[in-house]
Amino acid sequence: MSSSSKVPAGRLARLGGFASLAGKLAGGMLAEGAKRLAKGEPGSRMELLLTPANMKRVTNQLAHMRGAAMKLGQLLSMDAGDLLPSELADMLARLRDNANPMPPKQLAAVLSSELGEDWQRHFADFTFKPMAAASIGQVHRAEHDNGMQLAVKVQYPGVRQSISSDVDNVATLLRISGLLPQGVDYQTLLEEAKAQLSREADYLQEAAFIQRFKDALNNSPEFLLPEPITELCRPGVLVMRYVAGMPVESLQAQPQAVRDRVVTQLFCLLFRELFEFQLVQTDPNFANYRYNADTEQLVLLDFGACREYSQEFSQAYRQLFAASLQHDQPGMDKALTTIGFFSEQIAAEQRLRVLALVKLACEPLQQDAPFDFGQSDLAARIREAGTALSLQHNYWHTPPADAIFLHRKIGGLYLLAARLQAKVNVRALLQPYLR
């Protein structure tokens, strides 16, 4: 866990943080440029900027800022690398669970603000050192005065109030640094990022989403979810029954059958979310999944990024998958148009390249047998094709936000399946929803 540091909560303090970062990046570029010039190796602006030293500066500063400053990078880098250079996308991904925790004094102030000056009366015990510190809040172990073991998520101060300005500041920083392609109209994506982050910062809404998922999965004993303690939940504090489990990545050491079963359960859940619940938890962070070895249950955590989908959207994806299985390109084109992929005026060649990218993403569906994710370089090929589409062909295309968040979830499952070297018949899991 990173060392603690006070979260800059005021507007001026946060603006100063971005200005400091911009200055450090500029200084790093000058130093790298002088070093390369002395060696007779002039580099491009991108090469000068994306040095290990500069990437460390960005990581450290955003880990200190927390909030939307960290979250935006995750949103920008979630669409198969189409927007950001892979080096920057990888760096921002490393921020996901590497925030600096709040010092105890600031933590106590937040708890007092949310639960009252006598907040400690609600707990028989409260551990000030957090179990985890992420972009919007940190999680602590506690004990209810009735003996129940709890997990308490506490939001960093100023996060909700700074979302809009943080998003704008990060976008400005990326633009002036030359990391965003020239002429790109990304305002719609930025507005969607602000809306999504505002929803994630509402812990009362997250508690309601947890309950909806608990109700929907009531007859699915393979999943284990925390129970929100509603009387103690506030917009900035989420109190839940503690659920034990090991990190899902640690299942790499488990037998093949265990790894296959867990990934199978996650794909089953994805299809139920999209086609039955029409409510998808869109954050694919591995930390949102744990495994309880004693009960052999998959633990589901963090429901802040849930997104509701319309019947029309759900049906369009059903048609897209069905057309993909039939190698029906006109049918895929029609479904993608319904989803909103081709709302902009794009050339016929560009349209075909989008279709090719979607076909590539549907590769696990093309065989009625277990797909070996561990032996596949699918994620790398999707990323390479997406980058070629957006950069090499001077083509920028922003899919609809609903699709971006869904693809983020699917891409995350592919990465987890590859990490666990799982073998899953995804086609067989999908088929019941296409009938």
Comparing 26-35, 92-101, 224-233, 342-351, which segment has the lowest mean pLDDT? Answer: 26-35
Q: Which of 421, 409, 380, 377 is nearest to 263 (CA)?
A: 421
Size (the chain), residues: 435
Comparing 70-79, 111-120, 132-141, which segment has the lowest mean pLDDT? Answer: 70-79
Q: Which of 79, 166, 260, 283 is catalytic?
A: 283
**pLDDT greater than 70 at residue 11:** no
Query: In the prediction, which pLDDT does 178 show?
Result: 58
Q: 228: which residues sit within 8 A by CB, 6+ positions away?
A: 207, 210, 211, 238, 239, 240
Measured distance CA(357)–CA(372) in Å, rounded? 20
Measured distance CA(315)–CA(243) in Å, rounded? 35
Q: Virtual CA dihedral for 371, 373, 378, 383, nearest 10 degrees?
A: 140
Tokens read off for 226: 């925390």
pLDDT digits (tens, 9 = 90+) for 135-172: 788 999 999 989 999 999 999 888 888 788 777 777 77
Q: Is 130 left (phi over 0), alpha (psi -120 to 50) or beta?
A: beta
Calculate the CA 170 to chain-centre distance.
17
Measured distance CA(382)–CA(361) in Å, rounded? 7
Q: How far apart are the first and last CA of the chain?
A: 48
Please report, for the chain, the start and end positions of each structural domain, with discontinuous segments joined by +: 11-98+162-185, 103-155+202-243, 245-435
* Cβ–Cβ under 8 Å, residues 299 and 286: no
Measured distance CA(378)–CA(158) in Å, rounded? 40
Comparing 27-41, 86-100, 309-323, 401-415, which segment has the lowest mean pLDDT? Answer: 27-41
Share of the chain above pLDDT 70, in %: 70
* Cβ–Cβ under 8 Å, residues 239 and 150: yes
**pLDDT greater than 50 at residue 80:** no
Q: For residue 236, give the 3-state DSSP assignment.
A: coil
Query: In the prediction, which pLDDT does 328 show?
Result: 97
| φ, ψ (nearest 5 deg) of residue 186 | -110, 15
- From residue 10, alpha-carbon distances to 17, 120, 166, 255, 398 in Å are 11, 26, 11, 50, 33
* Residue 283 a catalytic site member: yes
Spell out the CATH class of 103-155+202-243.
alpha beta
Q: For residue 285, give the 3-state DSSP assignment.
A: coil
* Cβ–Cβ under 8 Å, residues 43 and 32: yes
**pLDDT greater than 60 at residue 16:** no
Q: Which helix H or strand E contains 176, and what residues bound it?
A: helix 159-176
Calculate the CA 162 to chain-centre distance.
19
Measured distance CA(22)–CA(351) in Å, rounded? 37
Half-sphere exposure of 72 (CA within 13 A, CB side): 28
Share of the chain above pLDDT 90, in %: 51
Query: In the prediction, which pLDDT does 109 show?
Result: 96
